[in-house]
Amino acid sequence: MRPWPKRLGALALVSVLCGKGVAHEGPEAEIEEITVEIARFGESAERLLQRAIEYRVLGRLKEAANDLQRAARLETDRPGLRRELARVQEGLGQTNEALATTELGLNLKGIEPDERAALLALKAGLLAAKGKSGAALESWTEALRLQPENVDWHHSRSQLLRELARHDERLKRLDEAIATTGSGMLEVERIDALLDAGRWAEALPRIDFELDASRLRGSWLLRRGRALLGMSRESEARKDLEAASAEIRARLGPGIREASLLAEVGLAEELLGHVEEAKRWFGDALAAGAGSFVRERLEKLKAAKKD
């Protein structure tokens, strides 16, 4: 490294666009800067991509999609552009267009395995959203073949298998995933998979182990209550479920609250037979951002009432 340059003190103002990285002034300023740059130097895929990213950060998805479409026309062989475009199209609710974009990306010649895997994962999510579960599963499996250590994708595939009630396959895949990644979250997912599969006796010792190791016990008391209920040990189950509900409620904060805790209270109440209460908690959980598991439980409860 050279000594501190003496000329630092003699810096003068310069009107040129300065180094992108160092000038970072927030997305609006970035958009302004890149727009000036495009006016001066013309459109390039990189400039359009960078502007699209800033538009996306601000939630201006239509403008982002427009830039990405133009970028993809300028550099037709760049899979990353297709992936970004498909993500934005997904955000716009344009699932068909997003799927078409991922297909274009996947068909590019010489696509690197990492890029291919990322596009396949995106495609899997899109297919699942369209209810094409079989095709979605194929896509997840192919993505994970290319990237067997991707924890997030293993989790997503497991959730899809849960929705399809393909419990044995879910457990098998999770065993493979845990062996590959060592993820503690996937271990938890596996215990949930055992419960979803009704393999109560198998789940119980694992839950007890986790319960002993936990500072926050509500979620595990809930799981144990569920297992005990499945094993017709109802009074023990009730005790756990009530304790779970109380412990989790005590951890709920004010205002908009934590979605998974709301969902857990809902599940505890459902298992305790408090249907209306459960529906209310599930509704709150959905409002806070909970996903398909809560939606399914709520729909089931609503359907049961109609019956």
Partner 1 sequence: MSPRILPFLFGLAIAGLASNPEPPFSRLPYVQSASPTRIQVVWRTEGPVEPVVRFGTDPSRLDGEVAGSDITVRASLGTEKQEIPERWKPLRTARNLGLPKLHSAPIGTFQYEARVKGLKADTTYHYAVYDGARRLTPADSEHRFRTQPEPGTRRPYRFWVIGDGGTGRSAQKAVFDRMLSAVQSEGRPLDFWIHVGDMAYGTGRDVEFQTRYFESYAPLLRNTVCWPSMGNHEGHTSKGTTGVGPYYDAYVVPTRGESGGVASGTEAYYSFVHGNIHFICLDSHDLDRKPDGAMARWLKADLEKAKADWLVAFWHHPPYTKGSHDSDKEKDLIEMRHHILPILEAGGVDLVLTGHSHVYERSMLIDGAYSTNATTAETFVLDDGDGDPAGDGPYRKSSGLTAHAGAIQVVAGNAGARLGRNGTSPIMRKTIVEYGSVLVEVDGDTLRGRMINLNGTERDSFALVKSGKVPVQRLSLPWQPAEYKKPSTSPKVPNEAPLDTRVLVASGAEWRFRPGPLPGGQEWTRPGFDVAAWKAGKAPFGRGEGKFATPLSAGPAAPRALQIRREFEVRQADRITEMGLWIDYSDGFVAFINGHEVARVGVGRSFGRNAQGVTAREDAGRVYVDLRNIGVAVKDGVNVLAIECHAAGGESQDLRLDPELVAED
> 209-228: which residues touch partner 1 (CB under 8 A)?
213-217, 219-220
With CA atoms as reference, report the closest residue to 99 among 84, 89, 111.
89
Phi, psi for residue 16 in degrees, rounded to 5: -65, 155
Any contact of residue 36 with partner 1 (CB under 8 A)?
Answer: no
Size of residue set near partner 1 by CB under 8 A: 75
Do 277 and 269 meet the contact criterion of CB atoms below 8 Å apart?
A: yes
Residue 244 near residue 268 (C-beta atoms within 8 A):
yes
Residues 133-152 that bind partner 1 (CB under 8 A): 147, 149-152
Distance CA 70, CA 279 (A): 46
d(CA 288, CA 294): 11
Q: In 5-36, which positions are buried (b, 16+ CB within 10 angstroms) versus exposed (e)?
A: eeeeeeeeeeeeeeeeeeeeeebeebbebbee
CB of 233: closest distance to partner 1 in angstroms? 24
CB atoms under 10 Å from CB of 137, counted, come to: 20
Looking at the Cβ atoms of 215 and 306, the one nearer to partner 1 is 215
User: Please, what is the minimum distance in Å from the beta carbon of residue 113 to partner 1?
Assistant: 10
- Enumerate residues 257-276 that contact partner 1 by CB under 8 A: 257-261
Residues 16-35 that bind partner 1 (CB under 8 A): 16, 18-27, 29
One of 67, 189, 270, 284 touching partner 1 (CB under 8 A): 189
Q: CA 246, 249, 253 angle in degrees (round to 5)? A: 155
Q: Binding string to partner 1 for residues 169 to 188, with x set by CB under 8 A, is what?
A: ------------xxxxxx-x
Structure tokens at 283: 């509704």
Q: Are 200 and 227 in contact (CB under 8 A)?
A: yes
Choose one: 57-65, 131-139, 234-242, 266-274; the region binding partner 1 (CB under 8 A).
57-65
Residue of 6, 40, 109, 306 interacting with partner 1 (CB under 8 A)? 40
Give the footprint of partner 1 on residues 73-132 (CB under 8 A): 114, 117-118, 121
Shortest spacing between CB 216 and partner 1, in angstroms: 4
Q: How far is the CB of 239 from partner 1 (least distance, A)?
A: 20
Instruction: Work out whether 304 is an interface residue with partner 1 (CB under 8 A).
Output: no
Which DSSP string do the residues of 107-137 spell out, in sequence order? TSTT--HHHHHHHHHHHHHHHHHTT-HHHHH
Return the range that interacts with partner 1 (CB under 8 A); candidates 67-75, 155-163, 229-237, 298-306.
155-163
Query: 59, 134, 165, 235: which one contacts partner 1 (CB under 8 A)?
Result: 59
Pick the stretch among 98-106, 131-139, 194-202, 249-257 that binds partner 1 (CB under 8 A): 249-257
- Long-range CB contacts for residues 166-170, cutoff 8 Å, separation at least 24: 167/193, 167/196, 167/197, 167/198, 168/197, 170/196, 170/197
**Choices 4-12, 71-79, 97-105, 163-171 (CB under 8 A): range interacting with partner 1:** 4-12
| Residue 95 tokens, joined | 């699932």
Q: Is 306 exposed, middle or buried (0-12, 13-18, 19+ CB in 10 A)?
A: exposed
- Looking at residue 177, the DSSP 8-state letter turns out to be H
Mark the segment that binds partner 1 (CB under 8 A) among 126-134, 193-201, 224-232, 283-291. Answer: 283-291
Among the listed residues 1, 165, 303, 304, the single contact to partner 1 using CB under 8 A: 1
Which one of the spans 200-208, 229-237, 252-260, 276-284 is the region binding partner 1 (CB under 8 A)? 252-260
